Amino acid sequence: MNSRDVSQNPANLPPGTAACPICHATECAAWARGYDRLFERARGFFDLYRCAGCGCIFQHPMLDPSTMSELYPPQYWWSGNPRTGRAAERLLRRLETAYREFVLRDHVRFLKYCARRNGEGDKLLLDIGCGSGTFLHLAGLQGFVPHGMDTSARAVEVASKQYGYPVRHGAIGSPVWEDCRFDFITMFHVLEHLPDPAQGLQYAADLLKPAGTLILQVPNVRSIQARLFGKRWYGLDVPRHTINYSPGALGLLLRESGLDFRLVPRFSLRDNPASIASSLLPWLDPIGRKGRKPELSPILSGAAEIAYLGAFLLALPPAFVESALGCGGTIWAYARRSRGRA
């Protein structure tokens, strides 16, 4: 599929003309102009503004939602099926599967931490934006009862066939799970893709049981790596990330959505080192490579995987240090509906 120009020819708008989508302040200054470094599916540049009030960084103007689906290549939703393709491709997918399961166990540990805070009880889990279902699979092994949803019909098909869990096709606002209520809902790296994140939180909260827990993770624009890389930071992922959060912005959004919450300064094994590695070497990023054309041969792809793994390992120490200092590359949070909320 050829790239399309969906940037709507952004103009050089003067500071103060863009209203913050989180705190609605008008003290927002033009911060940078970004482009699609990862997939090269959207031509042109996209204007990013920083809010002086809550510190979030957001695109202005926002893209038309009808064009957003074109910005995600089919390979954006990873599939680790090792039973198809040539022997080298099957081996490579097995290694990718082992790696992804290893780093996603860290997400399951956070889920279990939240479950312990809930006390003994049911463990019905809904993962919004479940992709191909690896996290659901690992959570299921730990006693949770997995359910999923995703906007990608292909991801839903892969998750359903590969793991057999109930996964439904739908976007935020769709009634695909209106017949169920869940003890835990996870939204890992979902909010930054939503032009209206308050709607996304309302949707998730309405699917929770009265004592249910919503678990969130987003990139942190106040992290050391974000400040170091600036507009080249992988966590911005222009133009797919419409709003990029500071801890203050995420806290304000949760509070105004009627949620009691706690932000957790926590290292993410999957995301924090990878964000540093992909900021330095975006052409080696595994998802980015698979989303661009032409694809590499299995031998070159394997060499790129090894090179990226080396960059990931080198990024581990600085990523761990920044998290220990409370300025990690991601923000974790868990939340419940406030008392008195219907």
Distance CA 267, CA 322 (A): 9
CA distance 332 to 147: 21
What gap in Å lies between CA 307 and CA 299, rounded to an integer?
12
Higher model confidence: residue 110 or residue 76?
110
Backbone torsion region of residue 164, taken as left when φ is above 0, otherwise alpha when ψ lies between -120 and 50, otherwise beta: left
Please report, for the chain, the start and end positions of each structural domain, with discontinuous segments joined by +: 74-337
Return the closest-CA partner of residue 108 out of 126, 135, 127, 133.
Answer: 135
| Averaged pLDDT for residues 301-309 | 86
pTM, whole model, 2 decimals?
A: 0.89
Residue 173 CB burial class (10 angstroms; 0-12, 13-18, ≥19): exposed
d(CA 340, CA 338): 6
Residue 100 pLDDT: 84
User: How do strand 57-59 and strand 243-244 relate by DSSP bridges?
Assistant: antiparallel
Question: Tens of pLDDT along 255-293?
Answer: 999 999 999 989 999 999 999 999 999 988 888 877 666
pLDDT in tens, 207-236: 999 999 999 999 999 999 999 999 999 999
Task: Give, in words, the CATH class of 74-337.
Answer: alpha beta
Q: Rounded distance, CA 22 to CA 39, Å?
A: 27
- Which pLDDT belongs to residue 299? 77
